[in-house]
């Protein structure tokens, strides 16, 4: 099994454990006139998610709507961001999507068609909104990216990032390959 996670390193190459582990995976958007539930990361144990975001690496198709993140343990699908989602139609290379607020808030699109600034509100202390994810023992518990499309098929690619800290002895995140 190959794990795609690592501690970031300082200028001297020394691991910096204070900012968590970074896991990453690239996924192609290939939905064909449907709603897609794309598993990104499998989680074991308990983790604190410090940041969850994606960067568009190949421009998205013209009709990508209702995009959001959720958990999935094959029985429960708790929302990580607002389940009605955000429209990502035609998002260009370099656009960023991020979980910024509470689970009741939609993911944030920071498009790349011009210089943009996206900052926390006065109530937030950091850009990302951390949360604890406790995986269900004995099952596959995934973080999924969900989107709807009426394209036949849609296109595009997003590189997803998960910055996390282990909270239990069995904590582990495994990045999954694209569908």
At 116 the pLDDT is: 72
What order of strands is seen across the sheet that includes strand 64-72?
64-72, 141-149, 35-44, 172-175
At 157 the pLDDT is: 97
At 114 the pLDDT is: 65
For residue 6, count CB atoms less than 10 angstroms from its CB and return exposed for 0-12, middle for 13-18, buried for 19 or more.
Answer: exposed
What confidence tens digit (pLDDT) does each residue in 86-125 have? 999 999 999 999 998 787 777 878 777 766 766 666 666 6
What confidence tens digit (pLDDT) does each residue in 17-46 have? 677 899 999 999 999 999 999 999 999 988
CA–CA dist 23, 25 (Å, integer): 7
For the chain, domain boundaries: 24-175
What confidence tens digit (pLDDT) does each residue in 127-161 have? 788 889 989 888 899 999 999 999 889 999 999 99
């Amino acid at each position: 099994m190959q794990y795609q996670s690592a501690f970031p390193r300082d200028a001297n190459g020394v691991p910096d454990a204070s900012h968590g582990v970074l896991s990453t995976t690239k996924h192609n958007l290939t939905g064909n006139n449907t709603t897609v539930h794309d598993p990104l990361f499998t989680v074991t144990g308990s983790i604190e998610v410090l940041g969850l975001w994606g960067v568009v690496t190949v421009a998205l198709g013209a009709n990508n709507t209702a995009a959001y993140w959720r958990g999935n343990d094959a029985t429960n699908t708790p929302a990580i961001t607002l389940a009605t989602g955000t429209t990502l139609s035609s998002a260009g290379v370099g656009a960023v999507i991020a979980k910024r607020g509470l689970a009741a808030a939609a993911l944030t699109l920071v498009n790349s068609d011009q210089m943009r600034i996206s900052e926390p509100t006065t109530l937030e202390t950091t850009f990302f909104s951390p949360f604890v994810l406790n995986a269900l023992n004995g099952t596959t518990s995934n973080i999924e990216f969900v989107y709807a499309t009426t394209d036949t098929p849609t296109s595009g690619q997003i590189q997803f990032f998960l910055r996390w800290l282990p909270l239990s002895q069995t904590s582990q995140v495994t990045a999954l390959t694209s569908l």
